[in-house]
């Protein structure tokens, strides 16, 4: 293979999601260990939350309740 042959990168180059600098291979998709740690800290603190649907909460409440004491003989 000659040096003139183009090599396709394994991953597309993207900006760091924290600061916007070009990402580094060893910290992908981040540019540095610092930005990687900032993101990890946000996950651990619970800053990233996927909201649930309200109708799921209502269905779960009804299914968790057992028979009422009035129904027992």
Extract the annotated binding site for Zn(2+). Answer: 16, 19, 31, 35
Task: Match 């924290």 to its residue by tokens.
Answer: 18
41: which 2 tokens?
């800290």
For 26, the 3-state DSSP assignment is: helix
**Number of H-type helices and E-type strands within the chain:** 2, 0
Which residues belong to the annotated binding site?
Answer: 16, 19, 31, 35
Half-sphere exposure of 9 (CA within 13 A, CB side): 7
């Amino acid at each position: 293979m000659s040096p003139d042959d183009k090599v396709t990168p394994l991953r597309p180059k993207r900006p760091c999601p924290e600061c916007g600098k070009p990402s580094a291979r060893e910290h992908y998709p981040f540019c540095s260990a610092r930005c990687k740690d900032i993101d990890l800290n946000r996950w651990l603190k619970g800053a990233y939350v996927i909201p649930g649907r309200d109708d799921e909460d209502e269905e779960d409440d009804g299914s968790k309740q057992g028979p009422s004491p009035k129904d027992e003989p």
